[in-house]
């Protein structure tokens, strides 16, 4: 990710709010979901503070999936169209690293997107080169966390997990700073859009198709179950998270 500095981007939540207001008011972003191979746009992306570039082959290598160039392009296009307004966990340094949550005031995309396409041969699309800029408030918070070393590595086999396992891990575990994560069955059902009304079937789906595959890959520890006044609750545990955090020094 080319950048002028490898230091974290933000010092506190106020600096994020100032940047969000500046980005939202400058009108200097691509129209939502625009797919472009304009040289002028590519040059502008290359002039932003935080961007990445890669080819179809790079993408296929890192996700371990046999996706066609058109599938990759469409996936990036659809992802670039999604806008978020959420509470985002941001890693801050106040003597020691701690996590604070920033409540966004405006909708934001994760990234802006452009590409260079090679000439076609016999009607076959040659590999494209993609340029993705994190020149949005959500993108810069994401980049800030990476620069603050606030991330967990996952094995490439993660992408072979069942779809709901991947979504569960991203939604409840990946950016969670706790080693014990209590989750009500109704919360899981609502956030993952699980439609089974039979509580026994729903419970089996969560255990067999979501939690057990994550345990098999070592991404979470064996979970616990608790029955309470508000129904069944799963206690997801992560001893690896504790080990990772202890390995980080305050000066990282």
Q: For the chain, 252 residues long, give each residue's pLDDT as a single digit of tens.
A: 444 446 788 988 999 999 999 887 654 455 444 445 556 777 888 888 888 899 888 888 877 667 888 888 888 888 888 888 888 888 887 645 577 889 999 999 999 888 887 656 666 656 788 999 998 999 999 888 888 775 555 667 787 888 889 889 988 887 677 889 999 999 999 888 888 888 899 999 999 999 999 999 888 999 999 887 777 899 999 886 544 444 444 444
Distance CA(91)–CA(100), nearest Å, equals: 6
Distance CA(180)–CA(239), nearest Å, equals: 9
Distance CA(24)–CA(215), nearest Å, equals: 41
Distance CA(61)–CA(58), nearest Å, equals: 5
Distance CA(30)–CA(50), nearest Å, equals: 16
Whether pTM > 0.75 for this model: the answer is no
Handedness of CA 149, 151, 156, 159 (dihedral sign): negative
The alpha carbon of residue 97 and the mean position of all alpha carbons in its chain are separated, in whole angstroms, by: 20
């Amino acid at each position: 990710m080319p950048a002028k500095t490898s230091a974290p981007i933000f010092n506190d939540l106020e600096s994020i709010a100032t940047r969000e207001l500046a980005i939202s008011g400058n009108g200097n972003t691509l129209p939502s979901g625009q797919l472009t191979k304009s040289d002028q746009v590519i040059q502008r992306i290359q002039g932003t503070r935080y961007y990445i570039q890669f080819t179809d082959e790079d993408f296929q290598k890192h996700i371990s999936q046999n996706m066609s160039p058109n599938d990759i392009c469409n996936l990036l296009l659809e992802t670039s169209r999604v806008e978020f307004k959420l509470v985002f966990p941001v890693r801050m340094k106040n003597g020691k690293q701690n996590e604070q949550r920033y409540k966004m005031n405006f909708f934001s995309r994760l990234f802006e997107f452009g590409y260079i396409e090679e000439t076609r041969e016999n009607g076959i699309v040659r590999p494209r080169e993609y340029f993705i800029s994190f020149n949005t408030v959500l993108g810069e918070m994401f980049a800030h966390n990476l620069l603050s070393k606030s991330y967990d590595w996952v094995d490439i086999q993660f992408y072979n997990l069942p779809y709901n396992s991947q979504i569960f891990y991203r939604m409840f575990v990946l950016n969670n700073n706790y080693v014990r994560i209590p989750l009500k069955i109704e919360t899981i059902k609502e956030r993952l859009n699980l439609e089974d009304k039979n509580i026994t079937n729903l419970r089996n789906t969560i255990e067999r198709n979501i939690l057990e595959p994550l345990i098999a890959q070592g991404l979470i520890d064996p979970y616990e179950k608790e029955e309470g006044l508000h129904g069944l609750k799963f206690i997801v545990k992560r001893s690896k998270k504790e080990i990772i955090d202890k390995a980080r020094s305050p000066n990282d």
